[in-house]
Amino acid sequence: MKKALINKIIFHERPWMWKIALALMLLAGFALRMYDLTDPPLDFAPTRQLFSAIKARGMYYQYVNDAPAWQREVAITLGNSMGIIEPPVMEIIVSQTYRLTGERLWIARIYSSFFWVVGGLALFLLIRELASSTGAAIIGTLVYLFTPYGVIASRAFQPDPLMVALIVFAIWALFRWQNTSKWKWALLFGLFGGLALLVKNLSVFIVVGGFAGVILGARGLKRSIRDPQAWVMGGLLVLPTAVYTVYGMATGRLEGQLALRFFPQMWLEPAFYFSWQNLMSSAVGFGVWTLGVVGVFLADARRERPLLLGLWIGYIAFGMTFPYHFTTHDYYHLPVIPIAALSLVPVVKVVLERFFQRNPGLFPRLVLVVLVLFGTAVQAWYARARLASADYRNEAPFWEEIGDKLGHTAAVIGLTQDYGYRLAYWGWQNSSAWFTSADIQVRYMAGQDLDIRQKFAEDTAGKQYFLVTMFGELNNQPVIKDLLYSRYPVYAETDEYVIFDLQHPVSP
């Protein structure tokens, strides 16, 4: 009787128990992400989220016929002005949902959270097969679902949560193909991997890294070259993105996408690697990723290690290719969450096996379960506390006031938060963004010769107003501050913003 109870606790004799545990984990992970659902999306990567919000609203307003004509025109114009970074998959999904619900910006959070959590299902199945351990699969999935950074980032209105979920599904299918050589899994890898690349082509490093690891380490290059399945997988992987890229280049919509991205000189700077480590540790935890690296070497050298090693090499290649963005865009590190969770499994498996050998009784195992639940609850509480720490609901009326002051159709340049996207979304006012000091610095790093006064004259030509809401940033640019205050009258001013009238300079 005692042995039966123990086996139930560790899910050996009752498969329905781990299925219930998995369902509860996924539901709890999704419910946590619904906290503070309607707060504006400024809690994480606001520039990127507002980019998608403006684009989705523009798509939606093409179908809206009962809005004021000026508002519909502004929404569509702003949406079209956002340009193309990657195929607007999330924006299309959200805008089409708006047609049923009306514009509810928080709908994007539901979709992103759902995609990420469903990715947890694939990760669980992958870990369970890789480690042959349901306990390890549960712990790895808990890491993926409840890491505080992952909770915050996976709610964001951007393609990355969907991309990560597709990466996990692709790696699951890849590992199944490695072990079975069935066409079904080959095709599913090509499908999921191809979609991941289409949603965001930067996923190529992780997906191709895993694929290369399996081809070179687990199956062997000679065997793979003769295997038609491997060729079909590779073809399906690149086909969607190749078609989209050719179309984008032919139409000119993707021009300049690689500008200001490649800075190999950063490879020689120790600060680059320290910043990388800090962001990786913020994403998944220093202990988790370091144990994950250890796990790579504990993994079976033929069956498990090639995949894990390929994923890590892909992640490293990603960072070395885009070093500047890897230290300034923390969401570039989202893929390390499933990679670390998966790599942690060999360590967890060794610990669990040792624990069960040393502790055959029921009580120690109950203590272990309680510790896992407590650790998960602590991580969930940290995530909730971060979500509760800020309320951005006052942003909308602030930008609405400025938009009304500017008239919604004026030619505006500004030094404002998120490159003018807050003004665009809530103020219904387009604007050109003046450089921040970071923008100026990255151009110097790229070797560009920038004359600030000349650039100011060029960018303000034809503009009616210069809006400033980032006073600290203005103080960092004394030349621009002096030009504005010495040459142009103030059109409107409060403690939170100042609008300069560029049409009536007080001096040449």
| Nearest-10 crossing angle of helices 183-199, 228-251 | 20
pLDDT of 155 above 90: yes
Angle at 159 between CA 112 and CA 423, to 5 degrees: 90
Residue 399 is inside which H or E element, if any?
Answer: helix 395-406
- Three-state SS letters, 7-20: HHHCCCCCHHHHHH
Sequence-distant contacts of 486-494: CB under 8 A, at least 24 apart? 491/405, 491/465, 492/405
Which residues, 6+ apart, have CB-to-CB distance to 13 below 8 Å? 4, 7
Q: In what order do the strands lie in the sheet with 498-501?
A: 432-433, 412-415, 465-468, 498-501, 490-493
> What per-residue string of b and e applies to 370-383 under the rule 16 or more CB within 10 Å gives b?
eeeeeebeebbebb
Helices (H) and strands (E) in the chain, counts: 25, 5
Sequence-separated (6 or more) residues with CB below 8 Å from residue 199:
86, 87, 89, 90, 159, 162, 163, 166
Q: How far apart, in Å, are the Cα atoms of 404 and each of 33, 75, 132, 259? A: 34, 15, 62, 35
What would the pLDDT profile of 423-447 be if each residue is shown by its tens digit?
999 999 999 999 998 888 888 877 7
Please report which confidence band the pLDDT of residue 12 belongs to, taking 50, 70 and 90 as the band edges: low
Q: What is the pLDDT of residues 204-261, one digit of tens each?
A: 999 999 999 999 999 999 899 999 999 999 999 998 888 887 777 776 666 555 555 6
Highest mean pLDDT among 321-325, 360-364, 463-467: 463-467
Distances (CA, A) of 398 to 75, 289, 423, 447, 477: 19, 41, 9, 38, 25
pLDDT band of residue 365 (cuts 50, 70, 90) is confident
Q: Is-contact 463 457, C-beta < 8 A?
A: no
Domain positions in the chain are 2-35+111-388, 46-104, 395-501
> Which pLDDT belongs to residue 8?
45
At residue 93, the 3 state secondary structure works out as helix
The reported pLDDT for the residue numbered 361 is: 83
Q: What is the pTM of this model?
A: 0.93
Q: Give the number of other Cβ atoms within 10 Å of residue 491's Cβ.
A: 18
